[in-house]
Amino acid sequence: MKIGKSPLNTIKFLENVSLGSAVFAMVFCVLIIVNYIQIKRADPLNTPAMTMLIEKLQNDPANDQLRQEIRTLDLLARKAFFTAQWQVRTGGYLLFISILILASCIKTIELIRVKLPEEPTGKPVLFWETTLLKRKWLVYSGTGLVVLTLLLAWLTHNDLGNTGSREPGAGSRYPGTGNRDTVSRMQDARSRIPHPASVTSSADSNTVEETSYPSWKEVKANFPCFRGPGSIGVTERSGIPTSWDGKSGKNIKWKTAIPLPGNNSPVIWNDRIYLSGANESKREVYCLDALTGKIIWTSTVDKIPGEPSQVPGVSKETGLAAPSLATEGRRVYAIFANGDLIALDMDGNKVWAKNLGMPANHYGHSSSLILYRDILIVQYDQRSGPAVMGLSGKTGEQVWKTPRNVKISWASPSLVNTGKRMELLLAAEPCVASYDPLTGKELWKLDCISGEVGPSLAYANLIVYSVNEYSTLSAIRTGENPKVIWENNEFLSDVPSPVANDDFLFLVTSYGTAVCYDATVGTKYWEHDFGTPVYSSPMLAEGKFYIMDKKGLMHIIKAGKDFSQISECQLGEGSFCTPAFTNGHIFLRADKHLYCIGK
């Protein structure tokens, strides 16, 4: 029987390719199995050396050399971790490709089905009948090896991906890897590293321990960020004034001129107030004495690594220093319209500074800062690369960064305790989203908002409230499966943020109409037109809503089902800023001065 050379050559070529694919597959099988054994024998994220160094540092927390050794070992462990991930992932892909090529060659040869020269018996000899079918043990053992290898590859990758199944201690440092919890065992190790600020010192026989972050009780006793603790517009301070007059000086305890303009609101820790100001040539942070109004120190923000040479274009309503500062009583933090971010100690000395990149938006950056424990949280929803990030308050190192598929937002982040966990809440088109403030892991999100989002969120009784002009007002029941429980689009805000308690949701539009709703079902109780635009966000204190309009007139309204105005108090100077509160006092930033209201 004569057979053409072309089919024989094709078969020969396919035989060689299939043989090579089989060899490559076996090599990858061996490599993946070896990798699995190594990972099981030596976990790169939980080494005895790391444990030993941490135990030493716990006994000697001031030892900087030990701390540096831990950082170095941490870096090596992370490299080993991601090398193992890459090997498993790449090996699995290559193994799959090799098997696919092998199967394709076998199938192609069967389709050609060219008979080989006959044996003396006269029976035709088929290649696959004389090789594979007579060597079933090779086929079966090879198939079994491949299946075992793929199983081990899946188990290895699954183990690595679930390395962070325990609650992390400090948050992921590795954004963009697909699974932000993959390193929490290393984070657990880091969380055992003593913070230098936690070293116990003795003075006059009294032991004083300074932790790296304040308790929630300390936070609530102060006014550490925009709209107060958690940035939700509610304060528990008492004895808040309801009557004053800037022209006559009635109940004006003091007023102090602020050197540079800024639309950020005052933040307060103990008896000190913090503000920032900026113009096209200078950026400054101010610390004032809350009792006297005296400027204690001024810190110039300049020579920041990476700061842009040009001044960003901003609107008058935003300005170059719109974001409010944040403090945890250990340091104070400020961010400016050009992306400069700085941390100062409580005496005004620079601790660290960096530039986050020129904000890409058309009004100017206005999202205020907030802290959770000792993590500084920055909402940086810009035109390109929108993200929320957590930075170490002590060093400025990135603890975590979560990219966001959203449009530009001028809103500020909020922190709430839902009873089960702390949640970081953000608003930007198209969604309201919740994140773990320790790790940046997204907990949930719900598409319910659109447009150029300026108002921040309100929260009370497990309900989050979002609003934006030309969008809608939405009440969202939080949880694992969040849902909108009511909506309304009659009155919408594009600048002032709403505020809520268990009974009422209150909002004011930027054109000056105030509205009160039932917080649970959305029934509108009343509306009232002030007749003057409002950019300041309303605050809720002692059962009263405080709303400052752009002319500096404070409207104080009882929180209730019926509109009841308690008083109107004229400052005598225009204001865009939200008030801050301590027991017995209100602090108001106006166009040129900071005022203390109280007896």
pLDDT by residue (tens digit) across 327-386? 999 999 999 999 999 999 999 999 999 999 999 888 999 999 999 999 999 999 999 899
Concatenating the DSSP letter of every residue in 449-472 gives: --SSB----EEETTEEEE--TTS-
pTM: predicted TM-score of the whole model, two decimal places: 0.67
- CA 236 – CA 228 distance, rounded (Å): 10
CA nearest neighbour of 488 among 459, 525, 462, 460:
525
Buried b (16+ CB within 10 A) or exposed e, 99-123: bebbeebbeebeeeeeeeeeeeeee
Q: Are 139 and 25 in contact (CB under 8 A)?
A: no
Note the pLDDT of residue 175.
35
Backbone angles phi, psi at 375, to 5 degrees: -105, 120
Amino acid at 431: C
Q: Does domain 216-597 have CATH number 2.130.10.10?
A: yes
CB atoms within 10 A of CB 218: 16
Name the one residue in this structure whose structure tokens are 């006559």.
Answer: 248
Domain boundaries, the chain: 5-164, 216-597
pLDDT by residue (tens digit) across 103-162? 777 777 777 755 545 444 444 444 445 554 445 555 556 666 667 666 666 665 555 444
Calculate Rg over the CA atoms of the chain: 32
- CA 479 – CA 482 distance, rounded (Å): 5
Q: Which residues contact 409 (CB under 8 A, 6 or more apart)?
A: 367, 379, 381, 386, 426, 427, 428, 429, 453, 454
Note the pLDDT of residue 244.
97
pLDDT by residue (tens digit) across 276-296? 999 999 999 999 999 999 999
3-class secondary-structure state, position 241: coil
Name the one residue in this structure whose structure tokens are 């966001």.
Answer: 404
N residues, the chain: 599
Amino acid at 306: G
Buried b (16+ CB within 10 A) or exposed e, 200-213: eeeeeeeeeeeebb
Our CA angle for 291, 297, 298, nearest 5°, is 130
Q: Are 347 and 355 in contact (CB under 8 A)?
A: no
Point out the residues of the chain with pLDDT beneath 70. Answer: 1-8, 28, 35-48, 50-51, 53-55, 57-68, 70-89, 113-146, 148-211
